Amino acid sequence: MKILSISPLHLPDVKVVRVERFVDERGYFTEIMRESHLTSRPELSCIRGKHFQQANESVSSAGTIRGLHIQVNPNLDKYLRLISGHIIDLALDIRQNSPTFGQICTYELKSDPDAAYEDMLLIPFGFAHGIAVIEDCRVQYFQTGDWNGDGEASISPHSPEIDWSGVDPVHRSVFESLSKNPKMSEKDKMGISLSQWATHRLAPFVQ
């Protein structure tokens, strides 16, 4: 696994991990995840000593909004890649002791099999995560723990208290356009607001 760069988003705990692809006339090969390479990097100290225990894949049609999801017990960090399609990734800081509590950051991922690199995202524990789907997509992510339904919460990405001020205006415009008639699960439609999160039973576990 050759990591070309690790770059913070405007919420600097969320990182873009750029890895090299080996491209020739046949296509490309890339090593997408080697735990030892990730956990040894000082920029990714949040996952040091942790192990990626579960891998998931989701397929979503254009117009879908997923999230914003958080899980505690175990506390999950996520390492995400886009296999195909086009999405805006969303990460919301829900750590009530954080100076950036309530702020959201975004990153655009678009599949390009001819590119000499691939961007992946490291979303650490303490951030509720979701995606807004521009084109039909397949997303894969690794997580540092097993799924636990009793430790899940869903925060509405449409919560009026969310601070979008640091987000690229184009990303926000795309999200607002998709939000006019979004495809969402019933659970996500019932997602709590950011103010409701403050008194949620799981909030004390997220610092």
Nearest to 76 by CA among 47, 101, 48, 100: 47
Torsion of CA 60, 64, 79, 159, to 10 degrees: -160
Nearest to 107 by CA among 75, 139, 77: 139
Handedness of CA 43, 131, 164, 73 (dihedral sign): negative
Residue 164 to residue 162: CA distance in whole angstroms: 6
- Cα atoms found within 13 Å of the Cα of residue 84, Cβ hemisphere only: 8
Q: How far is the CA of 103 from the CAs of 91, 98, 127, 144, 169, in angstroms?
A: 9, 10, 10, 24, 15
Residue 94 to residue 92: CA distance in whole angstroms: 6
The catalytic residue positions are 69, 141
Q: How far is the CA of 25 from the CAs of 28, 113, 114, 131, in angstroms?
A: 8, 12, 10, 32
